[in-house]
Chain A
Amino acid sequence: MTKKTDISVPEGHFQSLQTRLSTIPTREQAPRGIRKAAPYLAYAASLAALVLMGNAVLRQTAVQAQESSDWDYVSYLAQSLDPDGLVELKEADPLSDDEIVSYLLASNLSVEQVNELYYEENH
């Protein structure tokens, strides 16, 4: 361990670290996969609900809209959407950096591609 003399460690660091690590079994009882997937499942469920709602609204209005002008159709759509739902959608929490990074990593993009896409998006 002689090569490690270039970095110092606060006194008692490893002891307190080991004490913290030894509490993991009591903290981590529930299966981890479900807890980890929960936020993604919530997003997937929200997205599916939005698609289903949109589909239902379109089906309901399709017959009436055929005989109306374009403007009437748009007005009808706007009225038939729940205004609270729109406000909720607008005020929903934006995705965090962690979620964006997880998505990008899962999509197998290289760092260079990510950089390129992000650059195009912002310039």
Chain B
Amino acid sequence: MQDYEHIFNQLVKDYSEQLWWHVRRMVASQEDADDILQDIYIKIWNALPSFRGESGLYTWVWRIATNETLNWLRREKVRAALRFTSLDDQLQHRIEADPFFSGTAAQRELFKAVARLPEKQRQVFVMRWWDELSYEDISAITGTSVGALKASYHIAQEKLKLNLSEVDVSK
């Protein structure tokens, strides 16, 4: 257990901040990002003994984080449907009312437009644009080919351009 604890603490030190930013962008809430990150690290701790080393620790940790985040979004989508609302609307509202948002109107509109993208495109866009991961890393984490990722990113960019061209960000 001693070794695992040491590795775990190293993973917290090395990746928690980077992963938090990813989750924060995906769920648009500081509190939920904190909770989800906690769940991610509980998963990491519980799975650490079964880590076989086929992928690097970095990829493995990121894979757990992205799966956990997508699962959270999926659960929220069902919860929203039970309340006759939509997760998209909730995310838009969260971004609009986010007390920690300190950017320009244009940055807020970009954030909102990204939140409107389909789940997978949003994930790829967040990982590439904000997390600044390489396509190769994203490919290893998501198990999607580099070509398919580039296509997704391109489609996402086109949709964002279209959405943002209709928005007045002069405020």
Interface of A toward B, CB cutoff 8 Å: 3-10, 14, 17-18, 20-22, 24-25, 28, 31-32, 97, 100-101, 104-105, 111, 114-115, 118
Q: Tell me the bound Cα distance from A30 to B41 in angstroms.
A: 15
Task: Tell whether, in the assembled complex, residue B101 and residue A24 are in contact, meaning their CB atoms are under 8 Å apart.
Answer: no
Extra 4 A-B pairs, beta carbons < 8 Å, given A6-B103, A21-B41, A101-B79: A3-B132, A6-B107, A7-B24, A17-B37
Q: For residue A111, which residues in chain B have a CB less than 8 angstroms away from its CB?
A: 77-78, 81
CB-nearest residue of chain A relative to B41? A21
Checking B17, B21, B41, B75 against A105 with a beta-carbon cut-off of 8 angstroms, the contacting residue is B75
Considering only residues 22-48 of chain B, those with a C-beta below 8 Å from chain A are 24, 30, 34, 37-38, 41-42, 45-46
Among listed B5-13, B62-70, B133-141, B157-165, interface-contacting one: B5-13
Task: Tell whether, in the assembled complex, residue A18 and residue B13 are in contact, meaning their CB atoms are under 8 Å apart.
Answer: yes
Q: Tell me the bound Cα distance from A25 to B103 in angstroms.
A: 37
Q: For residue B81, which residues in chain A have a CB less than 8 angstroms away from its CB?
A: 111, 114-115, 118
Category for how many chain B residues contact A: 35 or more
Task: Tell whether, in the assembled complex, residue A24 and residue B75 are in contact, meaning their CB atoms are under 8 Å apart.
Answer: no
Known: A22-B12, A28-B42, A101-B75. A118 touches B34 (CB 8 A): no
Q: Which of A7, A10, A114 has the most CB of B within 10 A?
A: A7
Q: Tell me the bound Cα distance from A32 to B41 in angstroms.
A: 13
Task: Tell whether, in the assembled complex, residue B42 and residue A32 are in contact, meaning their CB atoms are under 8 Å apart.
Answer: yes
Considering only residues 93-122 of chain B, those with a C-beta below 8 Å from chain A are 98, 100-104, 107-108, 111
